[in-house]
Structure 1
Amino acid sequence: MPKFFLLFVVVFFSPWLAAQEWQAQPAMPQAVQEIYPAVHKGRIYVAGGLSDDIALEQQQMTAVVQIFDPATQSWSLGPALPEPRHHGYLVSVREQLFLFGGFIEAHGGRWSASADVLLLDENSNSWRKVADLPKPLTETTAVVIQNKVHLASGRSPSGADNAQWRDQQDVNWHWIFDPVSNSVTDAPSLNIALNSATSVVLAEQFYVIGGRQVAGGNLALVQRFDVLSQQWQALATLPQAQGGLAAAVLNHQIWVFGGEYFNDGGGVYSEVWVYNPQTNQWQQRGEMPVPRHGLGAVSLNDAIYILGGAAEVGLKATSDLLEKVRLTP
């Protein structure tokens, strides 16, 4: 694959015409999927993940923390997590970087859901546990509103066993984490239990998009939580049901990328969907140059950065790609 490529797609969406530019950035040091990256102090952090590049003896999971600095166009390695972990959710709030839950190797399996809340101690250059979630939580969604972290949906153990993928069940929980007191409070739950959705915050509202259910397959649901009314509202659904996707905000719109499906032999979605909150409408805006699932997406400096994931369904074809998406007049 060439080091740099450009793809221009021009579409009509809302009253103006815009060109979409994809540009390859320096590749990640470690290819990973099932990640939830975060922007922290102007840099992009990726913590842990799964990869078919990692040996089975290491359970194909990593504790590596990768950091991309857009100012220098370079990657570096940060302090490693206390143990390998995948599906751990990174969130930057009040100038602190937290990691919530995810799966670790324990109880005889690599799908042991964790209740850990870890904090990056930048003075000692290490991670430390600062709290426990009320219950183990993985494959969740998270945003920051009014300097607090909202977590909604995901998977948690259905019984006493907590080692394998099959030990987990979908949940509709909605929690709020206070980074000052390191405490968690309950908030209004989602109307449906699901996992592997994506989320963004836009205009101080929490959007949960897509996802899937263990028994029911992919979902096209879009739900929005209003902090003032303390209510969830159903919005226009995604044009197609998608799980394992990623989203970010650009130009006051929500952009959705990737995801996977398991029927008919399985595959990865290529379409890029854009949501206009003023009209409550979705429209396709081109396709991903390299479609992936289990990827990450973050907004930074008037652009969206798309990280990692896998180009084939399941734990294979893990990617080290970093791409930058922006609009040009």
Structure 2
Amino acid sequence: MSPFLLVYTALFLLLATLAHASAVPQPALDLEVVERVDNDPDPTCSRGIVASDVCCLASCGTCGGEGCHLRPGRSWGCCMGTIRSRGRNCEFNGPPCSSPTGFSGTTAPPTTTTTTATTTTAATTTTTTAPSTTTTTAATTTTTTASPTTTAPPTTTTTTAPPTTTTTTTAPPTTTTTTTAPPTTTTTAPPTTTTTTAPPTTTMASNPVWQTVNTGNTFPTARHEACFVMVNGKGYLLGGRGNNPAKPVDIFDPATNRWTQGARPDIELHHMQCVAVGNQVWIVSSWTGGFPNEKNVGSIYIYNTASNTWSTRPGLPEPRRRGGGASVLYDNKIYVVGGNRGGHGGQATTLGWMDYYDLDEQKWVTNLKPLPDGRDHVGGGVVNGNKLCIAGGRDGGVRGFFFATKASTYCYTFSTDTWQNMNAAIPAPRAGSSYGTTCAGHLMIAGGERSDAFSQVDVFDGSSWTTTASLQRKRHGSGLAVSDCSCGKIYIASGSGSRGGSPELTSTEVYLPNGDSSPCAVH
């Protein structure tokens, strides 16, 4: 054979060999690499512990009212697999959120784990695979190489045991032997297939509740037509029907949930809304005496919480003395609105008068514009910091006064001395309710009476009413003591459990705007 032909033949065989080699299946790469998001360097941020509802929980929805923007690396409200809010740990026992932009649903996404890239090698007739070791974090993967003429698919075995080492020994091309070490624990589903459902983050904010407070063996004196107000972190319950002797001051400490007793006034005081002024409680308009011919009290009664003593100052001038009206503090003035001059008898006269006592000048001013629709057994509050709002109450000067309740809401603008009908009827017209201004600056009305006592609670935001959680026990003739605006707690105590004066209650309740699962809950 000529040299030329030999070269040509060799070149042809080389090209054929290269073409054949390119047609042979190459090792296939099946790579899945998931970046861990639970490796925050902050040691206080960890997984696998109990949930705290000041945080985003599993839904990565909101953190204390602000967005929870989860991403690999730390973000403001989150620390990887664990969510934090306002610098406090959110100790969460479910899986972390792994979405780069957060997860707004109510079900947490599956746990993100570290997956080692796995290479699966297809068998060929010319390749002998050496022994190899494959290690996985959540599951053990065994790759079996079939005989030279057959390619078997990889077989996957899943365990939650510690990493298991699998050794695959491939004999000469005609024989394949696979030896797998047994798992050290019972085989179960891997954590990555488990989805944990956490409470939605909106539950706290949308589920306010009243709780009965466990006060141990301490209780306030049973009373109704009293007032309840918070001074320097403690609740003071004053007045109420009964003059044998007059009711003492009862003092509630939210830090211990216990009641203690203070001094008694020298006369019976009832049908009033009391006002906190510094470390004092002021009662500027009230009644004394028994049903139905109650008398107007002629003095201001002041209880000093620091010294546990009572004192008096000149009351409303005649003929403007009355009881059953609203009393509200604004700009160092105590405003008195509405009320009744004649008790519950035939001389009862319901009024719309408005006066105030100037604490700086120590005098009464009585020439203010009256409430257009007078009423008694009423209270009020400063709404949104600039208006005095009145709602509910009744006309006590008519027969069947229990049913002569008022539905309208009026607000007074201090700067212009004008009243405005807000055209917002209270959801359940009633009288004798407990009134208070919430930490949000809204007027809350709890309980009351008409044909019976009420447990309903309504809140006015300055333009409309919302009905919130009901009291545990229907009652009327008490007050609302607003405490600790970091939690928004509001307390109510005593009162009458039905229309009229019986039964008088000794229980205490607390309003939790964020629900009974919040850190503010009383247990």
Structure 2 residue aligned with 1:118: 301
Q: Determine whether 1:24 maps to 2:212.
A: yes
Count matched residues.
Answer: 295
Task: Please point out which of 329, 341, 349 is paired with 1:144.
Answer: 329
Say if 1:33 and 1:308, in contact at 8 Å, map to a contact too.
yes
Q: Determine whether 1:73 maps to 2:262.
A: no
Structure 2 residue aligned with 1:171: 351
Structure 1 residue aligned with 2:503: 317
Instruction: Map 1:192-203; keep pairs closer than 5 Å.
Output: 192-202=373-383, 203=385
Q: Determine whether 1:207 maps to 2:389.
A: yes
Partner Cα distance (1:322, 1:122) in 2: 20
Partner Cα distance (1:291, 1:131) in 2: 36
Instruction: Map 1:281-300; keep pairs closer than 5 Å.
Output: 281-300=464-483
Change (3 A) 1:253 1:213: same
Change (3 A) 1:81 1:242: same
What SS does structure 1 have at the residue aligned with 2:376?
Answer: coil
Partner Cα distance (2:355, 2:340) in 1: 14
Shift in Å, 1:191: 0.6
Partner Cα distance (1:122, 1:295) in 2: 19
Change (3 A) 1:96 1:287: closer
Point out where structure 1 has 5 or more consecutive residues left out of the alignment: 1-15, 158-162
Identity of aligned residues (%): 21
Change (3 A) 1:267 1:105: closer
Say if 2:272 and 2:326, in contact at 8 Å, map to a contact too.
no
Change (3 A) 1:105 1:244: closer
Say if 2:279 and 2:306, in contact at 8 Å, map to a contact too.
no
Q: Determine whether 1:41 maps to 2:232.
A: yes
What SS does structure 2 have at the residue aligned with 1:89?
Answer: coil
Partner Cα distance (1:99, 1:274) in 2: 25
Partner Cα distance (2:229, 2:443) in 1: 17
Say if 2:285 and 2:336, in contact at 8 Å, map to a contact too.
no
Query: Which residue type is aligned with residue 427 of structure 2?
Result: P
Say if 1:311 and 1:319, in contact at 8 Å, map to a contact too.
yes
Structure 2 residue aligned with 1:11: none
Say if 1:20 and 1:325, in contact at 8 Å, map to a contact too.
yes
Partner Cα distance (2:278, 2:305) in 1: 14
| CA-to-aligned-CA distance 1:115-169 (integer Å, 9 cap, x gap) | 2102224676421211121232200101111121111000114xxxxx8744331
Partner Cα distance (1:183, 1:256) in 2: 30
Partner Cα distance (2:345, 2:237) in 1: 23
Q: CA RMSD in A?
A: 2.4
Instruction: Map 1:55-66; keep pairs closer than 5 Å.
Output: 58=243, 62-66=246-250
Query: Which residue type is aligned with residue 273 of structure 1?
Result: D
Structure 2 residue aligned with 1:191: 372
Partner Cα distance (1:86, 1:125) in 2: 19
Change (3 A) 1:181 1:192: same
Q: Identify the structure with the greater strand proportion.
A: 1
| CA-to-aligned-CA distance 1:231-269 (integer Å, 9 cap, x gap) | 1111111122111112323334332211111xxxx2122
Change (3 A) 1:306 1:222: same
Query: Which residue type is aligned with residue 31 of structure 1?
Result: A
Higher gyration radius (CA)? 2
Change (3 A) 1:72 1:110: farther
Could you state the TM-score of these two structures normalised by the residue count of structure 1? 0.82
Shift in Å, 1:94: 4.0
Point out where structure 2 has 5 or more consecutive residues left out of the alignment: 1-203, 516-523
Change (3 A) 1:119 1:181: farther
Shift in Å, 1:220: 0.8
Structure 2 residue aligned with 1:259: 448
Say if 2:220 and 2:494, in contact at 8 Å, map to a contact too.
no
Say if 2:281 and 2:305, in contact at 8 Å, map to a contact too.
no
